Structure 1
Amino acid sequence: MSHLNNTTKQRRFKHLTEMERYQIEILLKEKKKSKEIAVILGKHRRTIEREIARGTVQMLNSDLTYTFRYCADVGHRKYLENGQNKGAGLKIGHDHKLARHIEKRIIQDRYSPDAVIGEIRAKGLEFKTSICTKTLYNYIDKEVFANITNKDLPIKRHKKKGRYHRVRVALKNLKGTSIEQRPKHIENREEYGHWEMDCVVGGKGDSGAVLLVLTERKSREEIIRKMPNRTQSSVKQELDRLERRYGKRFSQKFKTITVDNGPEFLNSSELEGSIIKQGEIRVKVYYAHPYSSGERGSNENGNRLIRRFIPKGTDISNYTAQEIKRIEHWMNNYPRKIHGYKTAKEMAA
């Protein structure tokens, strides 16, 4: 039995191959009908009819007349061209509810794409479509959303984390306690109450107002206070207010604070001394090594989040205490990847 006369039943729903198109051309020259060709090739009749229609071209005969004939080469070329134009449709194309949710979170709530997707999964929010973070970034790159571009993203880069190496250099603050003497278990971030503290400054030549930022190492809870200037006395006043606010609970909430060697932190005795119980230490302060911001990494990351609302060079005095409080609230309710997209507020509870 020749190959053309083979009637063995083949698996259906497969695309025609180039060889099968040549077989169709030969069988048509033998005056075979579409139904017969379908049986021979083991294809559906409509598949053969569509292929013949696709590959039929007008040809010039030797007597200068025209005729329509099927050409396997033309049929296969059109098949390949059509295949290049195919592609997966946008998953989000018909899920307008999800698109609106993403736009609101990124534009109004200042979420990163990863935080948006992470929150959806962590909270079990239901939409018709499910996409991953990479797909969302691709959609933004291709400007699929009507209202979102890369300019709306707080940060867009892929940066590998470098390995942390402890730098041993001399302390500027010889009176303070070095981070080297801080209990080792604090590095594990398993116990609540160990904080990092820093100041976020405004622009040069402005009023001099700054933000005092405290970040809890385990939960990433944030406390932000506006100060008139970057001085030791202003920092002490804010810590005094916190001690009065929490009272007996202060020593439980604030077990240690790690700071840099900025001039506003150098007098450790003033920072550590209690105003409620005279002569007692309210919190132990440790000093990081100079030029080692990685030793207060959570604090630095928190400062970057603040910059989404208060860009560098901005006069902080223009922001009210209520506006600063809203930023603090936003940060404590922002889903964190490191916590499985739970918030700092949930982790601190």
Structure 2
Amino acid sequence: MHERTARDWDRGIRKVGNARLHPDGRRIDYKTGVTTIVAATSEPSLAGVEAELHSRFLTVTERELIADMRREGRSLRAIGRALGRPASTVKREIDARSVEGAYQPHRAQRAWARSRSRPKESKLAGHGPLREFVAGRLRQRWSPEQICHALVIEFPDDESMRVSPETIYQAIYVQARGGLRREVAVALRTGRTRRKPHRSPDQRTARFVEEMVMISERPPEVEDRAVPGHWEGDLIVGTRSESAIVTLVERSTRYVMLGHLPGGHTAEEVRDVLVPLIQTLPGHLRGSLTWDQGCEMAAHKQFTVATGVPVYFCDPRSPWQRGSNENTNGLLRQYFPKGTDLSVHSPEDLEHVAQQLNGRPRKTLDWKTPAERLRDLLTTT
């Protein structure tokens, strides 16, 4: 047989059709990539029996030593000293694992491995107020973490209305674990039906080469987000790069503003959208603008003359230097998917999307919304 087949048998994994059935109940279909949960096997696999997960757990070797020393009539304290463990640990092991007064180490090891797996139904598997709340917020495009904290705020005294972000992800990604599969298309911003590991960002091309003021020259108060009015900007581009949307994010409040570019995104077109967008703000909220080195900002000096807002440029291949804007663009792709024509969206559509984003609670704002933070700034200054 193949070496991998032998390893699978050793770990208790069986092949069933086009899927592999794991002893913990996972059934993975490698043609479709779908993971389902079935009833776990009653007997632990050899790998489960021989597992050494943490030093606090007794190993099969230690259990054999306990059995040998018990047959020699050694005391619990003597066994404990030989193992380097408290005598109470030895006593609990013997009391819990003995059968008809006899302690058998390998039977005890198998019983321990069997007791470790505790399959249970997901909190979101059954119908009820918790599942309805989660499904409702997913339809509003809230993230699982936002939903988790909203439950604590809205139901402070109801412990049954609690769920972790991971449980929500499991209910979406793993069939038979939570019943939220139908929401997957609109629930998560990526729209993926399978989990995907993080990868390194692709290298950027077509960098801006004209004279720029670099981000290293940006004032310190911009960096620590202590002073509001400093913005990060970028474009999200539609299919064939024929349409685009200007995205602006205020660094302190994470407030979002969107500009309409239905016909193109040349430097002049971007300038003509940015200037009136910034001019809608009061003077104390026009501190600076940070952009990447895209050629759409070739008219940055004309923008600065018209608005009085200096423009700072990020280093090449450094998207984290405008992380708030990168994160916001990811949120916006939930409304404006990649590969679609962005010109079909009107300025009113963009305003509606901006209002939705500005009305979402944010972890970085202590679960306040950007609109609330901006309102507080405008009413206190």
TM-score, normalised to structure 1, is: 0.65
Would the aligned equivalents of 1:171 and 1:289 in 2 still touch at CA under 8 Å?
Answer: no
Does 1:227 find its partner at 2:258? no
For 1:179-199, what per-residue CA distance to the aligned partner results, in whole angstroms no more than 9, with x for missing partners?
221112211112111101111
Q: What letter corresponds to residue 142 of structure 1 in structure 2? A: V
SS in 2 for 1:301: helix
For 1:179-231, what per-residue CA distance to the aligned partner results, in whole angstroms no more than 9, with x for missing partners?
221112211112111101111110117xx221011011122111011113202
Q: What letter corresponds to residue 252 of structure 2 in structure 1? A: K
- Structure 1 stretches lacking a partner, 5+ long: 1-14, 23-75, 163-169, 275-280
For 1:219-264, what per-residue CA distance to the aligned partner results, in whole angstroms no more than 9, with x for missing partners?
2111011113202222222233235534xx2x31121001122222
Distance change in 2, residues 1:288/1:85 (3 Å): closer
RMSD, aligned CA: 3.7
Would the aligned equivalents of 1:226 and 1:324 in 2 still touch at CA under 8 Å?
Answer: yes
Q: 2:252 is matched with which residue: 218, 222, 245?
A: 218
Q: What letter corresponds to residue 261 of structure 1 in structure 2? A: Q
Cα separation, 2, equivalents of 1:286 and 1:218: 17
Paired residues, what number? 267
For 1:74-111, what per-residue CA distance to the aligned partner results, in whole angstroms no more than 9, with x for missing partners?
xx9xx9999699644544456611101111222x2122
Q: 1:111 is matched with which residue: 142, 145, 157?
A: 142
Match of 2:337 in 1: 311
Distance change in 2, residues 1:85/1:304 (3 Å): closer
What does 1:80-91 align with in structure 2 at a 5 Å threshold?
A: 87-91=119-123
Match of 2:7 in 1: none
Distance change in 2, residues 1:86/1:173 (3 Å): closer
Distance change in 2, residues 1:123/1:345 (3 Å): farther
Aligned-pair distance for 1:17? Answer: 5.6
Does 1:291 find its partner at 2:317? yes
Q: Point out the structure with max Rg over C-alpha.
A: 1
Cα separation, 2, equivalents of 1:244 and 1:180: 26
Cα separation, 2, equivalents of 1:310 and 1:264: 20
Match of 1:209 in 2: 243
What does 1:1-349 align with in structure 2 at a 5 Å threshold?
A: 18-20=98-100, 87-92=119-124, 96-106=128-138, 108-124=139-155, 128-143=160-175, 144-148=177-181, 152-155=187-190, 156-157=195-196, 159=198, 172-174=209-211, 176-204=212-240, 208-228=242-262, 229-246=264-281, 249=282, 251-274=283-306, 282-349=308-375
Would the aligned equivalents of 1:118 and 1:335 in 2 still touch at CA under 8 Å?
Answer: no
Identity across the alignment (%) = 24
Cα separation, 2, equivalents of 1:182 and 1:82: 60
Cα separation, 1, equivalents of 2:230 and 2:244: 23
For 1:103-150, what per-residue CA distance to the aligned partner results, in whole angstroms no more than 9, with x for missing partners?
1222x2122212211222244466533222223323334333334365
Q: What letter corresponds to residue 153 of structure 1 in structure 2? A: L
Cα separation, 2, equivalents of 1:126 and 1:161: 43
- Structure 2 stretches lacking a partner, 5+ long: 1-94, 103-107, 202-206, 376-381
Q: What letter corresponds to residue 223 of structure 1 in structure 2? A: M
SS in 2 for 1:19: coil
Cα separation, 1, equivalents of 2:112 and 2:301: 78
Would the aligned equivalents of 1:332 and 1:344 in 2 still touch at CA under 8 Å?
Answer: yes
For 1:276-304, what per-residue CA distance to the aligned partner results, in whole angstroms no more than 9, with x for missing partners?
xxxxx521111222332222111111111
TM-score, normalised to structure 2, is: 0.60
SS in 1 for 2:247: strand
Cα separation, 1, equivalents of 2:335 and 2:316: 28
Q: What letter corresponds to residue 282 of structure 1 in structure 2? A: G
Match of 1:61 in 2: none
Aligned-pair distance for 1:308? Answer: 0.9
